[in-house]
Amino acid sequence: MSGRPRTIVGTYGSIHVVQSGRRRFTAYTRYRDTDGRLRQVKATSTSHNNAVSELKTRLLTRPGYGRGGMLSLTSPFGDLVELWLADLALRELSEGTKKNYRDDVRVHVRPFFDNYTLGEITTGRVESFLKAERWMSYSRAKHSRTMLNLLFGFALRHDAMARNPVEGTSPLRKPKGSPEALTLDQIQRIRTAASLWRTGPAVKGPKPDDNVRDALEVLLGTGLRPGEALALRPVDIQDGREGMVAHVHGTVVYRQGSGTFRQDHPKTDASVRTISVPDFAAGVIRRRLKEMVPSQTQWTIFHNRTGCPISLHNFRRTFRELLVLADLADSGITPRWYRRTGATVIARGIGVDAAATHVGHTSTAITEAHYIEPGRTIDFGPALVLDRTLRPDAADDHDAA
């Protein structure tokens, strides 16, 4: 069946202009709305060109064009943010992740784009914003780019934009670097500092409870995240003839208004795991379990004097004091290095797959890129083969191609 092709939704046909007075021109066309129906749209002005221009403006800002009922190209960027935040609240993400998203949008993204409508946010403007963020830090630019992709992806799903303006921006160049693990010397110096921290006759106040000292040994022996280690409870530990295993089912988090508490699930689904505990870390856990009574099986093994979990803020603060005492304040070491150290040792001894499973990663690529320190040993085997085969005198062609 032949005939004129159907006008696509969101587009219009030919524009016609008629003079309806001495200085009065009316431009009109038929526009296919989002409900699929064709409707006539008109605009009147004092000249032919002005009437056409006014009509095109009305078509671009026409209610129903690309809106999906909530947003359009003329919507302020703030409207998109508010709708996205409402959707974020309903998503199955950890409260920590939601808070980070909200903070990144509020502090970094929204101030730059708040005075623009969605139709005014071009690839060039996004490029300018990301370059300014990259000048501050790679991490900040990466987070801001992620937030923009989430926001504009939401707009695309609601037909508010025809394309994501982040597409086409320059790729973010990650600064060169490689994961660093603790050396045996650094481990020992921190151990010594932990044993001496707040001891001696000159120290006033309560004696240290050794929570941080013992937690560091567990971190070193398990590769757990600090929050996961601090969330371990007696019911999460099994100690049998073949050794101790720990079931990772939670993490310690902080929420404004709620304080520090144990969350009943870790960071990701892959983080729910059961791992073996080496003897040096198992010894620490056994000693602490002996100090607890049966009614405290739901307490965290590392708890304060009121029985509440140790806060990550206090844990990191004490750790920084230990680094000062160990003369490692400028080393850049953080508790995360303990996790890298465990991953590096396992990867070199057993393999990357085992290391990824142990630390709770869904991909070995993450483990290799961010947690395993590159090997520093040199393999002299290739040089021996080359020398045996290619030396100028008494060469052995056994290895030759």
Q: Give the model confidence (pLDDT) of 96-154 as tens digits.
A: 788 889 999 999 999 999 999 999 999 999 999 999 999 988 889 999 999 999 999 99
Q: Which residue has the higher pLDDT, 207 or 39?
A: 39
Tokens linked to 310: 């140790």
Arithmetic mean of pLDDT, 312-325: 94
Residue 180's nearest CA partner among 20, 71, 340 is: 340
Is 61's pLDDT higher than 50? yes
Least confident of 22-31, 211-220, 345-354: 345-354
In terms of C-beta density within 10 A (0-12 exposed, 13-18 middle, 19 or more buried), how is residue 55 classed?
buried
Cβ-Cβ contacts under 8 Å for 305 (sequence gap 6 or more): 209
In terms of C-beta density within 10 A (0-12 exposed, 13-18 middle, 19 or more buried), how is residue 136 classed?
exposed
Residue 248's nearest CA partner among 219, 291, 209, 284 is: 219
Instruction: Please tell me the distance from the alpha carbon of residue 178 to that of residue 371, in angstroms, as a whole number.
Output: 9
Arithmetic mean of pLDDT, 186-199: 91
What architecture is domain 184-370?
Orthogonal Bundle (1.10)
Contact 277, 222 (CB under 8 A): yes
Instruction: Please tell me the distance from the alpha carbon of residue 339 to that of residue 178, in angstroms, as a whole number.
Output: 15
Q: How many CA atoms lie within 13 A of 124 on its CB side?
A: 2
Report pLDDT digits (tens) over 246-258: 999 899 988 877 7
Contact 326, 183 (CB under 8 A): no
Q: What is the pLDDT of residue 66?
A: 43
Q: What is the mean pLDDT of the chain?
A: 85
Answer CATH for 77-157 from 3.40.1190, 2.10.25, 1.20.140, 1.10.150 = 1.10.150
Q: How many CA atoms lie within 13 A of 275 on its CB side?
A: 30
Mode of pairing for the β-strands spanning 243-248 and 273-277: antiparallel
Percent of the chain exceeding pLDDT 90 equals 44
Arithmetic mean of pLDDT, 313-324: 94
Sign of CA dihedral 256, 259, 260, 262: negative
Cβ-Cβ contacts under 8 Å for 205 (sequence gap 6 or more): 198
Between helices 77-90 and 138-157, what is the axis angle to 10°?
90
Arithmetic mean of pLDDT, 238-264: 88
Provide the residue ranges of all domains of the chain, joining segments of one domain with +.
1-65, 77-157, 184-370
Q: What is the pLDDT of residue 146?
A: 95
Contact 116, 77 (CB under 8 A): yes
Quote the Cα angle for 190-191-197, to 5°: 80
Instruction: Please tell me the distance from the alpha carbon of residue 290 to that of residue 113, in angstroms, as a whole number.
Output: 57
Task: Flag whether the pTM goes above 0.85.
Answer: no
> Can you state the percent helix, strand and coil of the chain, rounding each to 5?
45, 15, 40
Least confident of 96-110, 267-281, 298-312, 379-393: 379-393
Instruction: Please tell me the distance from the alpha carbon of residue 155 to that of residue 80, in angstroms, as a whole number.
Output: 7
